[in-house]
Structure 1
């Protein structure tokens, strides 16, 4: 893992985060193609909350209903709006792996106005901006979203943006150090991990229905 003397809470060691969390962070590091990410080894200091948060986060992404390109577009806009470089750099790689182009990823920084977005993507970006600035979505934007997305997807959209805003604030406040990420797209191991999370989420849905 990388460390930084400016980090307000440094990444935890095996002794500090416990054997279970240590194994989880190692698995996540292997899936992302590098060392255990500093985000995970820092949050894992809160041992029980870390595992509960992982389950919730996985249910939103990659286990959610929104197409992965849509969810990554939203997450990147959140990272930009919150000035969270850590979140941006990780999801820049993931976005490339799920189908967004490098040019589209850079266009996210310019927002929904004045660029050649499809109506669907323009409204997603507008929703992320309004939730960030106003903590709600205007009737104008909602009426457009309501045509494009199901009720379940709209609920998920709000929770996804809120979750990654929360995560960006945590990363910024704790001053979590950047990770040394391998160049290129999301590695195969990450895709395999995502598919496991999605399958487990669908199994849980069937058992609770």
Structure 2
């Protein structure tokens, strides 16, 4: 995965000394930790509104942490976001997901991973889950997981649009990790 255009962005991640006063309270939390949110800080109202949904998607999803990472990785692959792919390879590894399983998400995984991949693909390809896929996910993971899967794909698609539009650089600590052990 690579960013197709390597032009310098006019919307670089905001440095601490230029952080907007109206979201000063957010700099010490998640928003100050990653380049994506430092880029979103150019729109303080959006970043503030984003925070509660981010909290649910990242911490409270009915998918649970492992399935959420699988959904995010497939979405990152489908949208072509090198930033999200690299960051979520790191997070997936931290959860104990093997590199082989991570790599399978770029192809045609089987079992539950295949169901997740088919669901993400359906959302990208048709803008909806087919009744069969919705039923399978609901039966396997619960009705709330169906909603959280769709919300996760939408959430990370928007992040991908921002990242790729503004050519947001992968955070250095992630770039270093991936350079040492890529998938």
TM > 0.5: yes
Over aligned residue pairs, what C-alpha RMSD do you find?
Answer: 2.4
Q: Determine the C-alpha separation between the residues in 2 that align with 1:133 and 1:8.
A: 31
> Deviation string for 1:149-192 (max 9, x for gaps)?
2111111111111111111111111211222125559xxxxxxx
| Contact preservation (8 Å) 2:7, 2:167 | no
Q: Which aligned runs of 4 or more in structure 1 are off by greater than 3 angstroms?
A: 13-16, 19-29, 182-185
In structure 2, the CA distance between the partners of 1:47 and 1:151, relative to structure 1 (3 Å rule), is same
Number of residues paired by the alignment? 172
| Contact preservation (8 Å) 1:64, 1:156 | yes
Q: Point out where structure 1 has 5 or more consecutive residues left out of the alignment.
A: 30-34, 186-209
Q: Determine the C-alpha separation between the residues in 2 that align with 1:21 and 1:88.
A: 27
| Contact preservation (8 Å) 1:78, 1:161 | yes
| Contact preservation (8 Å) 1:43, 1:50 | yes
Q: Is 2:154 the partner of 1:152?
A: no
Q: Is 2:30 the partner of 1:41?
A: no
Q: Determine the C-alpha separation between the residues in 2 that align with 1:62 and 1:126.
A: 24
Q: Determine the C-alpha separation between the residues in 2 that align with 1:66 and 1:143.
A: 15
Q: Determine the C-alpha separation between the residues in 1 that align with 2:80 and 2:69.
A: 16
Q: TM-score, normalized by length of structure 2?
A: 0.83
| Offset of residue 19 of structure 1 | 4.5
SS of alignment partner, residue 173 of structure 2: coil
1:131-170 to structure 2, matched below 5 A, reads 131-170=123-162
1:38-77 to structure 2, matched below 5 A, reads 38-77=35-74
